[in-house]
Amino acid sequence: MPTDANPSRQEQFSGTKEVAETHRFDEKRLFDYMTAHVEGFEGPLTVKQFKGGQSNPTYQLVTPKQKYVLRRKPPGKLLPSAHAVDREYKVITALHAQGFAAPRTYCLCEDDSVLGTAFYIMEMVDGRVLWEPLLPAQDPATRWKIYDSLNATLAHLHTIDYEKAGLADFGKPGNYFARQVSRWSKQYVASETQTIIEMNKLMEWLPESIPADDTVSVVHGDYRLDNTILHPTEPRVIAVLDWELSTLGHPLGDFTYSCMQWVMPGQGTGGGTGSIATADLKSLGIPTLEQYIEMYCQRTNRSGIDNLDFYFAYNFFRLAGILQGIAGRVRDGTASSEHAKTMSQNVRPLAEEAWKYALRAGAGS
């Protein structure tokens, strides 16, 4: 059980705090900008910082009539193409217009002279962010409905016509896994703080082992329970957050990432995905991995998912690359979460787990 010395993820990441010293900005400049660019904005304005989030600092903007959310690039030295708030803004705006569960956006500011880095402002959706994948405060029937809604929401995303949504230029259709492996390999090397043999092996094996299927859809890139907002009282997703890693890609890469908590070896290892691998899912009312896959396949007209070991190897590798980027930001002093250092220590165990799945998929044979 969580204690004061070892709090739950819900306690660690929920709610807001005073803005961290390294993430402060001129609030008067923000007020003036919102007055000029946000329809219906009226002050006074109070700024808080959300506790959650490892990458882009996220703020709660409170006025007497409405609450907003501001996402910005962190200050300091950044990796190329990282923290792309302009891409987040583009995809959220387009998907909201398609009736998808994405917040309404108000403005994008790419003028660094306003707050020091680029940012965008969207509505603050009233609801619940739940951080514990075992959903300890819910009953079994409610847990099933929440997971069913998570599944349905991701399936909806993957069946949206991205061209009609105005997102034909949101990425390069095709060769998704090759491009992703290349991207995270480069980030890993740029952020490397130790030698991990398994990562070196994976960077060689993955590009040669990609399945032939080259389906394309909008992908979220980090789809999990705590990147969604649930209705205040009902067990359903009403908004999906944190689109920094979204692009045009392969829906099965996206979906199998959302399945990681079923295979993650231990609580705290996954850098955000959590683990339900050892739980009694039937008594809890949580779908098994096989049930969750079947639900998704029914919704997306698939007969099943082949090459599951490859997808898990890829996703463990990708997650290790992401956390190595966080380790690099800890080294460079630009990590935006106090929990970043702890998360960066999980790179090696994730790489080892990725290689286990690669061996199951035929690596080294």
Domain with residue 22: its CATH number is: 3.30.200.20
Is 135 inside a domain boundary? Answer: no
pLDDT at 365: 63
Looking at 123, 154, 175, the residue that finishes a domain is 123
pLDDT at 200: 95
Residues 210 and 349 placed together within one structural domain of the fold: yes
Residues 93 and 18 placed together within one structural domain of the fold: yes
pLDDT at 83: 57
Residues 77 and 159 placed together within one structural domain of the fold: no
Show the tokens assigned to 11: 């306690």
Residues 166 and 17 placed together within one structural domain of the fold: no
CB of 288 within 8 A of CB of 281?
A: yes
Residues 100 and 157 placed together within one structural domain of the fold: no
Through-space distance between the first and last CA atoms of the chain, rounded to whole angstroms: 43
- How far is Cα 160 from Cα 153, in angstroms, rounded to an integer? 11
The total number of structural domains that make up the chain: 2
Residues 25 and 98 placed together within one structural domain of the fold: yes
Residues 212 and 318 placed together within one structural domain of the fold: yes
Looking at 123, 158, 192, the residue that finishes a domain is 123
Residues 93 and 44 placed together within one structural domain of the fold: yes
Is 333 inside a domain boundary? Answer: yes
Residues 92 and 152 placed together within one structural domain of the fold: no
Per-residue pLDDT of the chain (365 residues; tens, 9 = 90+): 443 444 555 655 567 889 988 889 999 999 999 999 999 999 999 999 988 655 688 999 999 999 999 999 887 654 445 558 999 999 999 999 999 999 999 999 999 999 999 999 999 999 999 989 999 999 999 999 999 999 999 999 999 999 999 999 999 988 999 999 999 999 999 888 888 999 999 999 999 999 998 899 999 999 999 999 999 999 999 999 989 889 999 999 999 999 999 999 875 555 566 789 999 999 999 999 999 999 999 999 999 999 999 999 999 999 999 888 887 777 777 665 666 666 667 889 999 999 999 999 999 76
pLDDT at 219: 98
Q: The pTM is what?
A: 0.88
pLDDT at 5: 43
- Helix, strand, coil content of the chain in percent (nearest 5): 45, 10, 45
Is 130 inside a domain boundary? Answer: no
Question: What is the four-CA torsion angle of 14, 17, 21, 27, rounded to 10 degrees?
Answer: 120
Is 295 inside a domain boundary? Answer: yes
CATH classification at residue 171: 3.90.1200.10
Nearby residues of 234 by Cβ (< 8 Å), 6 or more positions away = none
Neighbours of 363 (CB within 10 A): 21
Is 131 inside a domain boundary? Answer: no
Cα torsion angle, 51, 324, 293, 220, sign: positive
Looking at 93, 123, 153, the residue that finishes a domain is 123
Residues 191 and 95 placed together within one structural domain of the fold: no
pLDDT at 1: 41
Residues 52 and 150 placed together within one structural domain of the fold: no
Choose among 73, 51, 69: nearest CA to 61. Answer: 69
Is 1 inside a domain boundary? Answer: no
Is 365 inside a domain boundary? Answer: no
Long-range pairs for 92-100: beta carbons < 8 A, 24 or more residues apart: 92/122, 92/243, 94/165, 94/166, 94/167, 94/170, 95/157, 95/160, 95/165, 95/218, 97/165, 97/166, 98/160, 98/164, 98/165, 100/156, 100/157, 100/160, 100/240
pLDDT at 2: 46
| Residue-range definition of the domain harbouring residue 191 | 140-360
Residues 278 and 310 placed together within one structural domain of the fold: yes
Is 259 inside a domain boundary? Answer: yes
pLDDT at 271: 56
